[in-house]
Structure 1
Amino acid sequence: MKRDAPSFAALRIFAVAAQRQSFRDAGQALGLTPSAVSHQVRAVEDWVGAPLFLRQVRQVRLTPLGETLSERLSQAFFDIDTALGQARRQSVSTRLRIAALPLFTNVWLVPRLARFEALHPDLSLSIDTDARVVDLEKGEADIAIRNVAAVTTGLFGHKLLDLRATPLCTPQMAETVQVPQDLARATLIDLSVGRAGWPEWFEGVDCPRLKPARTLTFDNVPSAIDAAAQGRGVLLGLLPLVLDAPNASQLAAPLQHPPVDAGAYFVVCRKADRANATVQAFMTWLIREMKADVVRLRRLERERLK
């Protein structure tokens, strides 16, 4: 009955020993003792039925049969390594799914995407700007950019930018809003998704019971900014990023009250994806871009709110 062929490990050990013409050097390369290398080579020789090495004092050299087997195994292992490498490259995702908040996407991310695409021309991005919190653990996206107080347990994240909230409106409307209590007579522009917004701000300025005359609610920040710029009401803007919005130049901060902390933008992913080359490439690029832009954003905030 034909015996099973030598193990893959034994063949690898033989190939390394044949390449180095030394059991000791092969052992150092493989993390094995010379005796262990010799044992595995002997197993291959026993199966072949003939010596593959001529063993001499402190030296070994291949027999003609050993040379032939070594050449063929070297080619076989090269083919295996090549095939595995090709399979790995093909399995690396060329499409990255990102869930990002509308304000962040429209006023900051989109104007900079060309730089990322230039660095990674083979990578396609799919960006979801729905303000709902996608479930990364269920695979609804690969990366999310969120306005939160801290990273959700079970995810890996990095803070991009601290946020502060302050009322914004047209200069004409600002003349009627001098103190927080004046907002009780104004239309407050609100959002139907995301953080609580106005209630948190009222709490932060010690007016927790203040109620507006009316509210105008939108499901996305860009529309809310447009409405505020058209004089439809007072918007609670997230500084400093809101100041980059196209219509933000038409808005003023009516109150002298310091802005209220409003969480931060974080970029997050599944912990298991931290080593994913595609995810890592985008997160590294994003963090670097924001770090380079923070000084400009803070200067813009100081200039607009002084």
Structure 2
Amino acid sequence: MPDRLPPLTALRAFDSAARHMSFAKAAEELHVTPAALSFQIKSLEQHLGAPLFLRLNRAVALTEAGKTLAPGASDGFQALTAAWRATKRLQDHTALTVTAGPAMTAKWLAPRLYDFARAHPDIELRLAASLRMVDLERDAVDVAIRFGYGADDGLYSVPVRKEWMTPVMTPELAQKYPTPESLKQAPLIFDDSIAFLSPPCDWPTWFRAVGIDHSPSRGAHFSNADHAVDAAATGAGVALGRRPMIIKDLLEGRLVAPFKVAIETRARFRFVCLPGAETRPQIAAFRDWFLAEIEKTAHISDQFEIIPVEDIPQA
């Protein structure tokens, strides 16, 4: 005889009580009375034919049966909640939640959001700046802008232009350090957020690209790329700036890139969403806008000799 599942409300009551180890807290979470919650759990125990909780004086504990059921009940309700949330999102053609790293959000996305909002007034865009690798099936996120070497298996993924970096500084510092050789005496700024890249895209690599044997490590170190670029814009030093983080400052004159040699990594930003979701109107609109905005500044790359790091001799 096939197993017949107990009522969903009883399982929900058990899941909440097992997570809180408290009937009172579970009742509060589910907005029912403690008596009603206790009734649901008793009905579940009757359905099973065995107790799920040990009722102690001022607490409860799971029985062996309860410990067996709890993980599956928790996973089941999480999966059901995620599926329901994703299904509801399919019916919403106005809200769009996008996640990107803090640096990409601050230096590239945020300054351009007015243009997107003006072009798409019917879309309510929400940005979540985070380095956490979200689960697009479980988390309430529609689009992720990711950076790295990832294959994005099982997802719709559009890679954008290759990432390159070059020294940037204020116009005043550019007069003080007019040659690559002079940078050996300059205060250098380090972006530690790209330390994971392999081969490295760092100061020693850039110096080797211009034929200088110099491996600096001392200077101001920042864990976020936008902080490194902002420090350079104040005149604090010379940063090895990444293309999307420096474009706006270059165009507006806060920073200059006097040495027309850039080093390029295979790592890229990618536009990522669930397969099939790319056809939803608000996601398609954001993708098309995102790719078009990148192309608007593509001509900046033509000013540089861009050398792949794989072609640069390693130390």
TM norm structure 1? 0.54
Partner of 2:187: 187
Partner of 2:168: 168
Partner of 1:217: 221
Q: Structure 1 288/211 Cα, relative in aligned 2: closer, same or farther at 3 Å?
A: closer
Partner of 1:230: 234
Q: Structure 1 234/248 Cα, relative in aligned 2: closer, same or farther at 3 Å?
A: farther
**What aligned pairs does 1:1-306 form with structure 2 within 5 A after superposition?**
91-92=91-92, 94-139=94-139, 141-149=141-149, 151-174=151-174, 175-176=176-177, 178-179=179-180, 183=183, 185-194=185-194, 196=196, 199-201=200-202, 202-203=204-205, 205-206=207-208, 210-212=214-216, 214-239=218-243, 242-245=246-249, 249-256=253-260, 258-262=261-265, 263-291=267-295, 293-295=296-298, 297-298=300-301, 301=303
In structure 2, runs of 5+ residues without a counterpart are: 1-86, 305-315
Q: Structure 1 205/176 Cα, relative in aligned 2: closer, same or farther at 3 Å?
A: closer
- Residue deviations 1:15-67 (CA, integer Å, cap 9, x gap): xxxxxxxxxxxxxxxxxxxxxxxxxxxxxxxxxxxxxxxxxxxxxxxxxxxxx
- Residue deviations 1:110-144 (CA, integer Å, cap 9, x gap): 34434433454343211122345444354263212
> Secondary structure of 1:232's partner?
coil
CA apart distance, 1:268: 1.3
Between structure 1 and structure 2, the one with the greater Rg is 1
Q: Structure 1 109/199 Cα, relative in aligned 2: closer, same or farther at 3 Å?
A: same
- Residue deviations 1:187-242 (CA, integer Å, cap 9, x gap): 33223434547942333653798442523123433332221122222201123651
**Contact 2:201–2:264 under 8 Å retained in 1:** no
Distance 1:137 1:195 in 2: 29
Aligned residues: 212
> Secondary structure of 1:274's partner?
helix
> Secondary structure of 2:147's partner?
strand
Letter in 2 for 1:281: A
CA apart distance, 1:162: 2.5
- Residue deviations 1:79-116 (CA, integer Å, cap 9, x gap): xxxxxxxx989932532211124454344433443443
Letter in 2 for 1:206: R
**Contact 2:225–2:245 under 8 Å retained in 1:** no
**Contact 2:191–2:240 under 8 Å retained in 1:** no
- Residue deviations 1:234-279 (CA, integer Å, cap 9, x gap): 20112365131389623333545x2111343321112252343432
**Contact 2:250–2:256 under 8 Å retained in 1:** no
Q: Structure 1 246/118 Cα, relative in aligned 2: closer, same or farther at 3 Å?
A: same
Distance 1:212 1:98 in 2: 37
Letter in 2 for 1:178: T
Distance 2:244 2:90 in 1: 41
Identity %: 29
Letter in 1 for 2:187: T
TM norm structure 2? 0.53
Distance 2:220 2:196 in 1: 15
> Secondary structure of 1:214's partner?
coil
Distance 2:249 2:180 in 1: 25
Q: Structure 1 146/209 Cα, relative in aligned 2: closer, same or farther at 3 Å?
A: farther
Q: Structure 1 153/244 Cα, relative in aligned 2: closer, same or farther at 3 Å?
A: same
Distance 2:112 2:222 in 1: 26
